[in-house]
Structure 1
Amino acid sequence: MLVFNGQIPISFESSSIGKKQISIKRVNPVLGFGFSNCRFSSLQKVTWHTAFTIKVTGICLVHCSHSQSGQSLSTSMAVEKKVSKKDGKKEHHLWSKRESTGSGQKALNLVRIVSGLPNEKEAVYGALDKWTAWETEFPLIAAAKALQILRKRRQWIRVIQVAKWMLSKGQGATMGTYDTLLLAFDMDRRVDEAESLWNMILHTHTRSISKQLFARMISLCDHHNRPDKTIEVFADMEELGVKPDEDTVRKVAHAFQKLGQEDKQKLVLKKYLSKWKYIHHNGERVRVRRELQG
């Protein structure tokens, strides 16, 4: 009990849980908190400040522990969610990279194999069959990459051998493969084989032949001085409604000129070439009238 000038403005309660705690029970509003002359009994010499501090400290500890536990729980859930997302992206990235690297190594291995073989069909086809002997599916991507590598290295005989082998297996019958094979026939001067391939393409893929493939065949005919074949391919091109590019138009006009058909030459130039063209003059792009003669 606290004694203040003969009055009892504040009373305390003590609890017996561990150490003694003192809680404020009642405060005299008139006297306020002037405790300069107050004293405790001989049994309990604990100040009011100590009791108040213990009380408030206990409340703060409970509140902080709850808030920290909730915050740590939400933080751990967020971290776990981020880690799971990163793991998924990383796994997908590694799978794509591993797949690309595998096909590239197979392509280089194929190029190495065929480059060391004699120029015999049986030897080349036998080696290519061994290359796919243990594959569950035909390695089309690796074979296409190998074809592009051989094309860049200008190994035209190997390009023809690999492309023919792919087509014999029923694989790679695309406009890209046909374009590469026609280019190889052109560079290796195999005009007759190119014509046979073109006739097959024309009858098999009539409505899906691209402008690029028509241009490739016309370029081959022009390169080997076959104006009659150039005009024949151009007639099929017109019939299928494929518009030629400027370079193809000039080659067709040149073929008409060689055959002595100047009127058709002028007609082709007038029909497919624009009256205007753009040139660079003094650092500026200028439109000028195009000459009729190609």
Structure 2
Amino acid sequence: MLCLRYSSVIFTTRRQEIIQLPKNYNRNIVVCEAKGPRPRYPRVWKTKRKIGTISKSVKLVECIKGLSNVKEEVYGALDSFIAWELEFPLITVKKALKILENDKEWKRIIQVTKWMLSKGQGRTMGSYFTLLNALAEDGRLEEAEELWLKLFSQNLESMPRIFFQKMIAIYYQREMNEKMFEIFADMEELGIRPTVPVVTMVGNVFQKLGMLDKYQKLNKKYPPPKWEYRYIKGKRVKIRTKDLDKSHNHGVVNKSEEVDESEFDENSQDQADEVDEDCVEQLKELDECEPGEISTVPSETRESSVST
């Protein structure tokens, strides 16, 4: 049987002296020419402490929170924050925007998002939706409409459904019924099936204006779903809508609360792929897609649109 073994390392010096190292020699130790082994010390510019994106995003938020609303001051602070970065810290900025959104700092979200877009970074539909939401919450309706028209003209047939829902919600809160009907008509012309909140808001406006015939046509064309999907411990579970209505009336089910799994159907996991994805998944997909890459037109043929 052939057996191969490594021989011990042999070094020769200038005086032609042979230094034979032991078998348990550590190869990470550098050997001097005639003074024996010495330890390898770490470089001065290397640090053992690694800063993650979460701590960086918190520092970014703290860096701009105490500043005024002057554009040059905020942009200067953001430029100095990323001055020593080799690449644009896109993940850090995205997490910072999420922190600002939880704190409802809408002006800071607008400033950071516009600064990021001016650098040519993060030009995804998720970033544009964050900017649109911040402009609407800050009361800057004209800028929100301008952004919406720009995105809608550039991505006519690939506009995500969540943008239509957001604009209808903005007009519904401000009782701008004509513009809301225009957005709803554009959805039907493009063949985009409206979500349950959109149908509810449009139906409420029809009832308020006394258009009961159009309200009945709307409910006939888009009946309320019998099932709804919720995420519980990372799994998508199907729930009956009537059970949800009862729980909502009693104030039991909230977005932040967990629902017992005993209330659901046993065959819910087998039938989980029969319905559209939730708005949470849509937002996750938006961050990964660029404008023009998302197609929301379903393959099914739609009926004639409801006249508004």
Residue 113 of structure 1: how far off its partner (Å): 1.2
Q: Distance in 1 between matches of 2:263 and 2:60?
A: 50
Aligned-partner SS, 2:68: coil
- Structure 2 unmatched runs, 5+: 6-48, 228-240, 248-261, 266-308
Matched, 1:205 2:168: no
Instruction: Encode CA deviations 1:45-87: one digit per residue, 9 max, x unaligned.
Output: xxxxxxxxxxxxxxxxxxxxx9xx98xx9xxxxxxxxxxxxxx
TM-score scaled by structure 1?
A: 0.57
Partner of 2:127: 177
**Greater RCO (Cα-Cα under 8 Å, separation 6 or more):** 2
Matched, 1:146 2:65: no
Partner of 1:131: 81
Aligned runs of 1:122-271 on 2, under 5 Å? Answer: 122-271=72-221
Equivalent pairs counted in the alignment come to: 193
Letter in 1 for 2:242: I
Residue 204 of structure 1: how far off its partner (Å): 1.8
Q: Distance in 2 between matches of 1:167 and 1:201?
A: 14
Instruction: Encode CA deviations 1:177-213: one digit per residue, 9 max, x unaligned.
Output: 2222222222222211111111111012223322222
TM-score scaled by structure 2?
A: 0.55
Residue 257 of structure 1: how far off its partner (Å): 4.0
Q: CA RMSD in A?
A: 3.0
Partner of 2:242: 279
Q: Distance in 2 between matches of 1:202 and 1:274?
A: 28
- Structure 1 unmatched runs, 5+: 1-65, 74-97, 287-294
Letter in 1 for 2:189: E
Residue 250 of structure 1: how far off its partner (Å): 1.0
Instruction: Encode CA deviations 1:137-191: one digit per residue, 9 max, x unaligned.
Output: 2221111111111001111111111112222222222222222222222222221
Residue 247 of structure 1: how far off its partner (Å): 1.0
Q: Distance in 1 between matches of 2:70 and 2:183?
A: 32
Identify if the C-alpha distance between structure 1 residues 187 and 113 changes in structure 2 by more than 3 Å, giving closer, same or farther: same
Greater per-residue helix proportion: 1
Contact 2:196 2:224 in 1 (8 A): no
Q: Distance in 2 between matches of 1:273 and 1:172?
A: 38
Aligned-partner SS, 2:77: helix
Identify if the C-alpha distance between structure 1 residues 167 and 251 changes in structure 2 by more than 3 Å, giving closer, same or farther: same
Letter in 1 for 2:175: N
Matched, 1:109 2:72: no
